Structure 1
């Protein structure tokens, strides 16, 4: 009986941690569908967080590449008075980048839900 109680307590703690992390992520960034993302894309700072090779292989037109590996050093080049739209391969890096931006006082932060993997819009590549 004690073993089941310990397992139950561990599960409750894990669920609580996941919920808290989820709420923190929601506070840091608003996830936009592709249609919502496209609406204001030309009026924002569009940032691709993937590595240079992936960016050159194909990126959303108008995006600038700031790989996550260098993001902490280069994020200060982003303006605080203009919305920031983030995207990566699947959305995970965008959440991390948004958290870093929040800590530096940025407030108007959005991300492409599910990343560029699901993108059906136009793409620019170095080959084209």
Structure 2
């Protein structure tokens, strides 16, 4: 194998691995950790699932802002407050957390396992 093939393999591996490295300012938390914080007045909680998913099962502390609507509604959130993000499994909320980080939010908490882990 030549040097170019090795460079390509290393580049692909780095891109793949970068998806698993935590982003500064985003913390993955457990459902138990989220439950302890959702009633804090300095925390804002958003649920990025679809409206239908939210209506079928949600926690009242979480405001529903579907992931695809987040860019249009991000200005309604307070950048000075911590934010907890949840979805069904934790994947969409991880995307939302990265988006919020790019928009200038500082302390973002993604609920691992999402509503599937809530009991």
TM-score range, shorter chain: 0.7 to 0.9
When the two structures are superposed, what TM-score results if normalisation uses the length of structure 2?
A: 0.85
After superposition, the CA RMSD in angstroms is: 1.9
Alpha-carbon contact 1:45-1:83 (below 8 Å) kept: yes
Q: Deviations over 1:89-126 (max 9, x none)?
A: 11111121111111111101101011111111xxxxxx
Q: Which residue of 2 aligns with 1:71?
A: 70
TM-score between the two structures when normalised by the length of structure 1:
0.80
Structure 1 or 2, whichever has the larger Rg, is 1
Normalized per residue, the structure richer in helix is 1
> Matches of 1:110 and 1:81 in 2, distance apart?
14
Give the equivalent residue in structure 1 for 2:88: 89
Measured against aligned partners, the alpha-carbon deviations of 1:27-50 in whole angstroms (never above 9, x if no partner) come to 252110111111111111110000
The answer for unaligned runs of 5 or more in structure 2 is none
- Residue 126 of structure 1 corresponds to none
Instruction: Count how many residue pairs are aligned between Structure 1 and Structure 2.
Output: 116
- Deviation at residue 13 of structure 1 after TM alignment: 3.0
- Equivalent residues in 2 for 1:9-88, closer than 5 Å: 10-23=8-21, 25-43=22-40, 44-88=43-87
Q: Is the 8 A contact 1:28 1:98 kept in 2?
A: no
Q: 1:119 to 1:11 in 2, by over 3 A?
A: farther
Change (3 A) 1:98 1:28: farther
